[in-house]
Structure 1
């Protein structure tokens, strides 16, 4: 792959040089672009300015070929590249390494983020399940509390009725106690009267209420 890449790079440079200078190049006795057979590739080293310009223009293409030939981001070593080309290549390889490291860090962070998100989602599902259970418990407690309130209200009414009945019974009891005292007083009075009769005192009967009438004369 490196040989093919080098040949493609050399062919590309020759085409660029021919388009710029319109000079023919001779390689191993074959006329490529009308250049003298005694000439070789040394003109590329003598014309540093043109060579550097060509290298700068070819840097993106070199990077594309280099990325295609290596899937593991290996540093490409091309002994035929100029200093500017090597500098650009090293810079690009350094950037590739830096970006690869950043990408690795991003992937690691993304993995941990997804892991944390999965844990949060699992907890959310658990919380929702607990929420449903708590909601059902709350409904049951509310129902029980409502029943207790109803019972309390009923017992309160019964207590009020019991208080009223007690007041009524207390009133009756007060009346009975008063009547009992009066009866005891009457009995005590009668006992006192009987005791007086036993001591020689007799009770005088009241006068007769009948009207006295004289006897009628016999007219026979």
Structure 2
């Protein structure tokens, strides 16, 4: 019981500025740990530029490769869509012709 009272007295004697400094140091430590976990999980490093800007550097070769793959897929999809639209147009014309021929036969 006496030991906990001493600790409580010690805490009450800590200056408010010291508490703020300890809080800042604690938050910096937590951020450092989070950045380390991020780096280990993703392999991407976080660099600080200026006073408050954090930027994740990406592997531009990998990003460019993915962009080129997506452009190729988009081009293929557009070609496929145009081909489908042309097929639909042809089928509509055939249906119209069949309707006209049926109307003539039914007369």
Q: TM-score range by the shorter chain?
A: 0.3 to 0.5
Considering fraction of residues, name the structure with more strand. Answer: 2
Considering fraction of residues, name the structure with more helix. Answer: 2
TM-score (norm 1): 0.24
